[in-house]
Amino acid sequence: MKKIELLSPAGSMEALKAAIHNGADAVYLSGTNYGARKYAPNFTKEELKEAIKYAHLYDVKVYVTVNTLIYETEIKEVMDYLSYLYTINVDAVLMQDIGLMALTKKLIPALELHASTQCNTCNDEALKLLKKMGITRAVLARELSLKEINDLKTNIEKEIFVYGALCICYSGCCLMSFYNGGRSGNRGMCAGPCRLPYTLIMDDQEIIKNKYLLSTKELNTLEKLPLILNSNIQSLKIEGRMKSAEYTGYVTKIFRSLIDNKNIKNYETNLKKLFNRGFTFGHLFQDTIINDIAPNHQGIKIGHIQRVNNYIQVKLTSDLKQNDGIRFLPSNKGMIASKIYDKNFKLINKANKGDIIYLDNKFNLKSEKTLLKTYDDELNKDIKNYPLKKLIVTYQVTAKKDKPLIIKINHHNYTHTYQGNIVTEAKTSPITKEDIFKHLNKLGNTPFLAKQININMDPNVFIPLKELNNARRYLIENIIKQKYQSNNPVKIEIKKKEVLHNNKINISAYVSNEKQLKYLLDKVDRIYTSNYNLYKKYKNHKIFLRLNKTDYHLKDYNNENLLITELGSLNKYQNNNLIADYTLNITNSFSASVLKNNKVNIINVSPECSNNDLKEISKYANNLETIVYGRIELMIMNYCLIKNNIGCQYCQHKFALKDKNNQYYPVINNRGKNIILSPKPINKLQEIAEYQSYGLNNFRLNFYEESIAEIKDILNKIKAKTNL
């Protein structure tokens, strides 16, 4: 069977060590900036250096995430950081930003790059583009099935998530956290809006009230591991850089054991205790992914609550120990079980299955039904006591009279030789092979273990024991030095040239129906539509077909006008008239340049760009377009709220989600994949004059339910702001 990499998360040094000693082949982690988990502890520059030294000592690779979108003003700082990562010999860097990928391959070509799952890689064409750019591995979209992955033909390393938290939205396509509070998921600051309760609205009526309709279960593919191991995949990734070191260590241990065909007991229950929101096989095996009851850690059920007053009476269905974490349902209140009382109200430190116990009613609860265990103190203590890996070395000792003492050490492909003093004849106490073996094997404070010591020596010779100890220390130190190799620093010179802008104002409009399209035909410069029939019916130089963001199979188009939304289209459709949509997440001129080099004529910049970001990118890129009015797509899901909640027979109705602040998010059904729109249109019409001063001259309007009268009013406002 082929060698498949087990890749574990490391949100801290403790988690990194837990991953390494429990069997990870590689770990992924982040510095303090530019990683997609900004709120994990993460690593300073010096800590990164130490982490790489430690991992490489144990032959474990280190991948650093620089997988956020990068703004124009950050390019120099990020490239200096990447130069540092190269110098300290990182094994690879994960990226989302295609401009940063291209610039890095140009300035630091030896630095290995992986395309983050934030790239939303869904098809072979995207893989082909990444390979052309020099990317060696792609972390595939979590929405792909195992069959789809196996059908991918491009010869590039493929990595998938096999365990941990899921996103309901395609990665890199979520703007909801940014829209609702400025915390961008594309910048590692997601506030988790998918974990909040929502109400499903159909035709202005509340159908399902206040449930966690977007909250996913935890991915757990352990039962399907044999199928995955025989698939078209090179690396299995565990999610969890914001979880504990105990979680990282134990999940890594289970995967390592099962990959190596070793039996391990009770892991299913232990995994539930560590963290679970309910488990799913995920999109890999087309399993149900939503837990709409609760968005947090569920633990395991351990008791039925029989009475609630000053104390809570529980009949246990599983053991409970002092200092375990518990939670009551349905209130969802939790605490540490610091005091457990038996049926006689005596304090005990442990209660067994079948016992009736009492717990303090710290929350003044009135009516509860179920007791959960959410933290197992004994389990976590056991997990912390993992054995440290040992690195095998062998020695070859040559001790001949009147010749220097020679000791060679070997560890895998690393060797080093000690040449010592002249070996003399013993006058009183000759050294024995047992003496040599004993002193060379004193490796207790090192990660090394001597498996074999071959000794070729003359009889009756003398070697000072101090010299053997010095030789051992010298050899071990040099093996460690060999295992950590740094690279020469790379001088970073970024050349940027300011561009000239065409002052002609162009207005484009995305339309959602034929009535809007017909009205705008002679009133705007370009029209975008997702409706292929509308595109063909009104096809001319100004009508563009907007393609899907998440297609696995890309249709053939030739000499068409296309608004492309993802990386595969960028590779496949270069013989067409191309405009890039905002879903390509363009935030800097280097990304814009990649698109221009791939025959894209106009580039919609990301809605996440502030006015200052727009000003900076416009200095070095032209033919940019920005949205000045309209709703934007906040989420694209390989999931149908309608089908999974009320049934496909209702799909022609009008749907929305309502949040706790009574904001209504329109839901569009696109062939079983749902798109969630912003509650209100963006309105930056007042800022058009400012944008013009930057050199921006393409302005986009998004129309969904707007009437002709509303569209007319918006166009009049634009005319008032420009000289159209």
Q: Which of 326, 354, 384 is the last residue of a domain?
A: 384
Identify the CATH number of the domain in which residue 330 sits: 2.40.30.10
pLDDT at 493: 94
Q: Are residues 616 and 557 in the same domain?
A: yes
Q: Are residues 686 and 559 in the same domain?
A: yes
Structure tokens at 595: 């698109």
Residue 1 has pLDDT above 60, yes or no: no
Lowest-pLDDT choice from 236-240, 265-269, 576-580, 681-685: 265-269
What's the first-to-final CA gap in the chain, in angstroms? Answer: 67
- DSSP, collapsed to helix, strand or coil, labels residue 626 as strand
Tell me which residue of 105, 161, 162, 107 sits closest to 136, measured CA to CA.
105
What local confidence, expressed as pLDDT, does residue 33 receive?
82
Q: Is residue 187 part of a domain?
A: no
Does residue 330 have a cis bond before it (omega within 30 degrees)? yes
| Contact status, residue 525 vs residue 508, Cβ threshold 8 Å | yes
Q: What is the CATH number of the domain that holds 532?
A: 3.20.20.70
Q: Where are the alpha helices (DSSP H) in 385-531?
A: 433-440, 465-483, 514-520
Task: Assess if residue 210 is contained within a domain.
Answer: no
Contacts of 539 (CB under 8 A, 6+ apart): 561
Say whether both 367 and 406 belong to one domain: no
For residue 177, the 8-state DSSP code is: H
Which pair of tokens denotes residue 666?
């329109």
Q: What is the mean pLDDT of residues 146-167?
A: 98
Same domain, yes or no, for 98 and 48? yes
Buried b (16+ CB within 10 A) or exposed e, 511-546: bbeeebbebbeeebbbbbbbbeebbeebeeebbbbb
* 601 shares a domain with 574: yes
pLDDT in tens, 26-60: 999 999 887 656 666 789 999 999 999 999 999 99
User: Do 227 and 304 have their domain in common?
Assistant: no
Model confidence at 724: pLDDT above 70: no
Tokens coding 669 = 């059904």
Task: State mean pLDDT over 274-302.
Answer: 96
**Domain tally for the chain?**
4
Q: Is 194's pLDDT higher than 70? A: yes
Instruction: Report yes or no on 270 lying in a domain.
Output: yes
Same domain, 396 and 525: no
pLDDT tens figures, 609-625: 999 999 999 999 999 99
Q: From 336, 351, 384, give the residue that closes a domain.
A: 384
Are residues 696 and 586 part of one domain? yes
> Do residue 689 and residue 704 come from a single domain?
yes
Structural domain ending residue among the three candidates 384, 412, 431:
384
**Nearest residue to 253 (alpha-carbon basis) of 142, 386, 57, 62:** 386
Cα separations in angstroms, 434 against 228, 257, 408, 487, 652:
49, 37, 18, 42, 84
Do 447 and 516 fall within a single domain?
no
For the chain, how many residues are written? Answer: 724
In sequence order, the β-bridge partners of residue 304 are 315, 370
pLDDT in tens, 532-577: 999 999 998 899 999 999 999 999 999 999 999 999 999 999 999 9
175 assigned to some structural domain: no
Pair 607, 662 in one domain: yes
Q: Name beta bridge partners: 617.
A: none
pLDDT at 721 (0 to 100): 77
Contact 491, 465 (CB under 8 A): no
Q: Which domain holds residue 338?
A: 300-384
Q: Are residues 555 and 412 in the same domain?
A: no
Residue 633 lies in a domain: yes
Q: Is residue 563 part of a domain?
A: yes
The mean pLDDT value of the chain amounts to 95
295 in a structural domain: no
- According to the model, what pLDDT value does residue 175 have? 94
